[in-house]
Amino acid sequence: MTRRRWIADAWTATTASLTGDQAAHLARVLRAEPGQIYDVVANGFLHRAEITHVTAGANDQDNEVLFTLHEELSSDAALPLHLLLAVFKFDHMEWAIEKATELGIAKITPVLARRTEKHLAQSALKRAERWRRIALEASKQSRRTDIPNIADPIPLKQALAEESSPTRILLSETEQSTTLTDALEDSQSTTKDRVPHPSQSHREARDEDPSSIQTTHALAIGPEGGWTPEEMSLFTTHQWQPVTLGPRILRAETAAIAAIAIASTHIT
Ligand code: SAH
């Protein structure tokens, strides 16, 4: 059976601690005691860990569980995949973030597109913390050892200027011929070994800013109204390849999940 896995809120080289909701659950619901062994992710690495101290307080925020970290366990790396997700209806967007996390996405950048509704664009920045919490919960639930990086929302122009993945794929409901699979197969021969897979670069990257995570592939999904013609040509300028997921128009969140699932079979 898989041992219960926790993601540390703070750590040193040999210790880790949980606070807040995770600690409250462990201390009060699971009745944690010193000596118990759990799997704990600290600084992106999975360890066998032994509880050394439990503080159970009356309020959730008063709980704390301390661990000594034992041996490092082998872990599964994220897919080297960056999702540029246009901001759309928040409940659907949250669903997309949760599912993308379960499927192994390394990074999500919420993008303010021309057809992102104004009120959503205005409150997107405030939402980012909530999106990060959703990604954390989904990481725990899916037994990921890392949490995807959820960037602050930025305008499309900036997102395209900053993108460094060698393979850049635009999911487009107007593309007729090139499929996502075609584009991925093409990229396999040209980009292989150019960028280190996150699992290989992970150790050196330990102390680096998580937003600098290297990905080999970027996928862009448009808002409910789709991309505008100006945005489509901006993508072309930045050498993004438009692809289709088939003749049916998918909701943005469906397109995101389908695209990640297809990509994952080509880039693991
Ligand atoms: N407003 C458009 C649909 C936009 S769907 C219309 O009704 O015509 C939102 C996003 O999902 C699109 O911008 C695209 O990125 C993606 N998408 C939806 N269906 C797709 C398909 N068949 N192929 C590729 N991408 C698709």
Last residue of a domain, one of 45, 72, 99: 72
Q: Which residues pair with 150 in a beta bridge?
A: 108
Stretch among 20-24, 80-84, 250-254 having the lowest mean pLDDT = 20-24
Pairing of strands 45-55, 10-11: unpaired
d(CA 173, ligand 1 centre) in Å: 4
d(CA 113, ligand 1 centre) in Å: 13
Mean pLDDT of 231-235: 97
DSSP letter at 26?
A: I
Please work out whether the CB of residue 226 comes within 6 Å of at least one atom of ligand 1: yes
11 and 113 inside one domain: no
118 and 38 inside one domain: no
Confidence label for 142 from pLDDT (cuts 50, 70 and 90): confident
Say yes or no to pLDDT of 2 above 80.
no
245 near 259, Cβ under 8 Å? yes
Last residue of a domain, one of 43, 72, 101: 72
51 and 156 inside one domain: no
Supply the CATH number for residue 26's domain.
Answer: 2.40.240.20
Supply the CATH number for residue 155's domain.
Answer: 3.40.1280.10
98 and 47 inside one domain: no
Last residue of a domain, one of 17, 37, 72: 72
Helix (H) / strand (E) element for 70: namely: strand 64-72
90 and 38 inside one domain: no
109 near 155, Cβ under 8 Å? no
**How many domains does the chain divide into?**
2
Q: Tokens at residue 35, please? A: 């000596």
What pLDDT, in 10s, does the model give residues 83-134?
999 999 999 999 999 999 999 999 999 999 999 999 999 999 999 999 999 9
174 and 260 inside one domain: yes
Say yes or no to pLDDT of 145 above 60.
yes
**Residue 78 has what pLDDT?**
87
Q: Residue holding tokens 């998580």?
A: 210
Cβ-count burial 81-103 (b if 16+ within 10 Å, e if not): bbbbbbbbeeeebbbbbbbbbbb
Domain with 203, as residue range(s), is: 79-264
Determine the Cα–Cα distance for residues 88 and 121; give it in Å rounded to an integer: 9
Please work out whether the CB of residue 11 comes within 6 Å of at least one atom of ligand 1: no
